[in-house]
Structure formats: structure tokens, C-alpha cells
Amino acid sequence: MSTDTTGTAARDGEQRPGGPADSPFIRACRRRPGPHTPVWFMRQAGRSLPEYREIRASVPMLESCRRPELVTEITLQPVRRHGVDAAILFSDIVVPVAAAGVDLDIVPGTGPVVAEPIRIAADVERIRPITRDDVWYVDEAVRQLVIELGDTPLIGFAGAPFTLASYLVEGGPSRTHAKTKALMYGDPELWHALCGRLAEVTLAFLRVQIEAGVSAVQLFDSWAGTLSEADYRRYVLPHSTAVLSGLVDDCSGSGRGDRRAEPEQSHAGVPRIHFGVGTGELLGAMGEAGADVVGVDWRTPLDVATGRIGPDKAVQGNLDPCVLLAPWPVVEAEVRRILDQGRAAPGHVFNLGHGVLPETDPDVLTRVVALVHELSSRRADQG
Ligand SMILES: Cc1c2[nH]c(c1CCC(=O)O)Cc1[nH]c(c(CCC(=O)O)c1C)Cc1[nH]c(c(CCC(=O)O)c1C)Cc1[nH]c(c(C)c1CCC(=O)O)C2
């Protein structure tokens, strides 16, 4: 465990050998060689773990996200159990939106449900800008986690404007995103006002996490794959770019925007991962939004994905979460294939193509971590 008690040296640990900045995960994000291929799992903290279910049995989802001691414990659970190369903050994409004043809840088995879905400009106006004080519990949890995690990097995250907008406009999860698209095509001005506001909230939320010490951030645009590339570029890309490039613009001396005076408040050094599901046709555009790493679901092999994304970005993925429900030889063969195809990329972070399913046997996750490490370190030895 780290001896750093401020939580800041670890963030700026660029020069500290052995700190999170020198970890296999951050090295892969930066396309630098490392001792093995790093691995973590989306939704690694969650219902696949009995120790998570025990904590959550008596605490509603949103409340658990607002109690720093619970956030810290739940975030650490999969790190202890599986030996993954990174922790991801336990929270949810709707947490900053709730902090911005939107009345919503996370309903078990359903997902986020919004009391008054967005319909008119006045609804957008009600989404307030957020500051650190609105999400103090996230700031506190990240600072504590950075201390407890030592050399293991902590990933912060947020939902991207399109995916957040889809919950706010639909009022809850949707298969077709019909209301969202109807607003997008029918009232582009309102659409851009909504996404612009959500981009501001998201950027502020990521800045709080980075200032508190996360080593990387992931922007989840889970449902962007429902759009054509042309529509994605027109209606979504400018807003996701405002978020991801906004983090870089904070760097003193580079770019415009809300530039910070204090060097330790620079957000520019933190790798940015951009992920969505069903985004095979969007991978190039999602990289252009300002990602260092592009998340790839299970539909596109990593060598093909790398051809679409280009040689200047790392990739993350892309095991089908359902494969983890298959007999071990099937899992092993898929892990080998993904590691092989991932060699085409200039950096590969092993992950699933989407979140861990609740019915997954956690011991299989632990075995996958060990296998990825074993197979990839053997390769690293061979040069
Ligand atoms: C779309 C989205 C949401 N939330 C999130 C996304 C983007 C990632 C993705 O595409 O899955 C992001 C998220 N949500 C959660 C995390 C935790 C960190 C981690 O990955 O370990 C993360 C990164 C916890 C959670 N978020 C949620 C749970 C389950 C609630 C519970 O445990 O009772 C967890 C652990 C609830 C949630 N929240 C959301 C959904 C669709 C659900 C599932 C509803 C259900 O099946 O019950 C919205």
C-alpha cells in the first residue's frame, strides 16, 4: 500500500518509479511496452461478487454511490479478489446528472429512471452546472482510494452526452432510442443545447475525479452504436470532443478554454478511454473525439479495429461477456485469440466487450486475469 497520504503525488506520479503512472495499464494506454498485457473488467465491481451483493442488500444503488466508505470498499473488492491491473471507481453514469438537479433513480433490474423526461428548452435549463461540492462524495472516495490502491491505477469515468441524453429523453432504458432520435432529428437546436449542457456537467465531473487523483478516465458512450457514422459525426461527435479535448485544453500552455493556473491541476496527462457498444462503424470517429484508447466490443476483432482507429491509439477489449459463461477451454481459446489479434495494436488493455454479467462465476474472472498475465508475459520475455 502507498505511503503517500496526500493523494496528489500518486496522480502526478509520472516521475515516481513504480507509481500508477508506471503501471502496465497506464503504459499500455500510452502505447509503451510493459511486463504483461494489463486486464480489468467493465462492471468488475458489481453483482457477480457475493461480497458486493452483501453490502448492497441493505443500501439502494444511488445511496451506495454517495457514501465514500462504501464506494471505497466496493471499488477495492475486485482488485483484491481478481488481481486486476486497474480499479474503476464505483459509481454510475447518472450520478453527476442527479447532482445537477435531475430527479432520477436507479431501479433494480431496470436501470436509470427519470421522473420528468426532457421535452422542451426549459427542461434543459433545469440541468445545473456542477462543482466539486455537488459531488463531494466522489472527491473524497477517490482521494481515499488513491491512498489504498498504492501502485494500482484508479480509473475515473463518466457517461458521454449521447448516452446520458438517451436516458434523460427516454425517461429510462430503451431498445430503439426512438424518442431520443426523434428529438435529435426533429429539433436539432434543442438537441445540441441538451448535449452541450451534458458535456459541461460531464467535463466538470471528470475534472473533479482527476483533481482527486484518478490515473485515467473512461468516457462511456454505451449506446452511440445505435447511430450511423454520419449522424454520429453530426449530432454527437462535437459534444464528446468538447469533453475529451476539454481535458487536454486544461493543460497550461496548450490550447484554450478553462485553463488552470496550478500545474497540479492539469488534466492533460491522464489517458482517456472512449467506449461504446456496437460501434464497429464508429471506431475511427470515436478515436477522433480525443481518445488515447478506444474501447472495442466483441463484434470487431482487434486487428480490424486497429485498422479503423489508426496507429496512434491503443485499444481496449474485446471478450464477449457471454463467453465467460462457457466451459473453460472455450474461454481460454478466446483469450488467446484476443491477445494474438491485440498484438496488431500499438497498445492493448484486455477487457470485456461490455460489462460483466451478474451470473458470471467470479472464479472465472480471476482465472482470466491469471491467464492474460501468464500468456502475455511469456510473449514479453520472448521480445
Ligand atoms: C449505461 C450505463 C449505466 N451505468 C453505467 C453505464 C455505462 C456502462 C455500460 O454500458 O454498462 C456505468 C457504470 N455503472 C456502474 C459502474 C461501476 C464500475 C464498474 O464497472 O465496476 C459503471 C462504470 C455500477 C452499476 N450501475 C448499475 C448497477 C446495478 C445495480 C445494482 O447492483 O443493484 C451497478 C453495479 C445500475 C445500472 N446503471 C445503468 C444500467 C443500464 C444499470 C443496470 C440496471 C440493472 O440491470 O439493474 C446505466
Q: Is the CB of 355 under 6 A from ligand 1?
A: yes
Q: Is 223 in the pocket of ligand 1 (CB under 6 A)?
A: no
Q: Which ligand 1 atom is at minimum distance from the Cα of 89?
A: 18
167 labelled ligand-binding: yes
Residue type, 325: L
Report ipTM (2 d.p.): 0.93
Compute the distance from residue 380 Cα to the ligand 1 centre, in Å. Answer: 34
- pLDDT tens digits, residue range 125-141? 999 999 999 999 999 99
- Looking at 3.40.50.720, 3.40.50.2300, 1.10.10.10, 3.20.20.210, the CATH number of the domain 13-381 comes to 3.20.20.210
Here the cell at position 41 is: 473488467
Q: Report CA-CA distances (Å) from 102 to 112, 120, 167, 196, 197.
A: 11, 14, 11, 16, 12
Residue 302 near residue 336 (C-beta atoms within 8 A): no
Q: What is the pLDDT of residue 383?
A: 54
pLDDT tens for the chain, residues 1 to 383 = 343 433 444 444 444 567 999 999 999 999 999 999 999 999 999 999 999 999 999 999 999 999 999 999 999 999 999 999 999 999 999 999 999 999 999 999 999 999 999 999 999 999 999 999 999 999 999 999 999 999 999 999 999 999 999 999 999 999 999 999 999 999 999 999 999 999 999 999 999 999 999 999 999 999 999 999 999 999 999 999 999 999 987 654 443 334 443 434 345 589 999 999 999 999 999 999 999 999 999 999 999 999 999 999 999 999 999 999 999 999 999 999 999 999 999 999 999 999 999 999 999 999 999 999 999 997 776 65
pLDDT tens-digit series, residues 317-363: 999 999 999 999 999 999 999 999 999 999 999 999 999 999 999 99
Q: Quick check: CB of 41 below 6 Å from ligand 1?
A: no
The helix or strand, by DSSP H or E, that contains position 35, with its residue range, turns out to be: none
Cβ neighbours of 337 (radius 10 Å): 13
pLDDT at residue 13, rounded to an integer: 40
CA of 148 to the centre of ligand 1 (A): 23
Question: Which residue CA neighbors atom 43 of ligand 1 most closely?
Answer: 111
Q: Is the CB of 276 under 6 A from ligand 1?
A: no
d(C-alpha 154, C-alpha 145), whole Å: 8
Tell me how far the alpha carbon of residue 188 is from its chain's centroid. Answer: 27
Point out the ligand 1 atom lying closest to the alpha carbon of residue 157. 23
**In the prediction, which pLDDT does 149 show?**
98
User: How far apart (Å, rounded) are the C-alpha atoms in residues 29 and 37?
Assistant: 11
Task: State residue 378's pLDDT score.
Answer: 77
Known catalytic residues?
Answer: 43, 47, 56, 92, 167
Ligand 1 atom closest to the Cα of residue 107 is 47
Q: Is 61 in the pocket of ligand 1 (CB under 6 A)?
A: yes
Closest residue by Cα to atom 10, ligand 1, is 222
Q: What is the CA radius of gyration of the chain?
A: 20
> Is 46 known as a binding-site position?
yes
The domain ranges of the chain are 13-381
Q: What's the gap in Å between 5 CA and the centre of ligand 1? A: 30
pLDDT at site 381: 66
Q: Which ranges in the chain belong to alpha helices (H)?
A: 24-29, 50-56, 61-65, 68-82, 95-99, 121-125, 136-149, 161-170, 178-186, 188-212, 229-231, 237-249, 283-288, 302-309, 328-342, 362-381
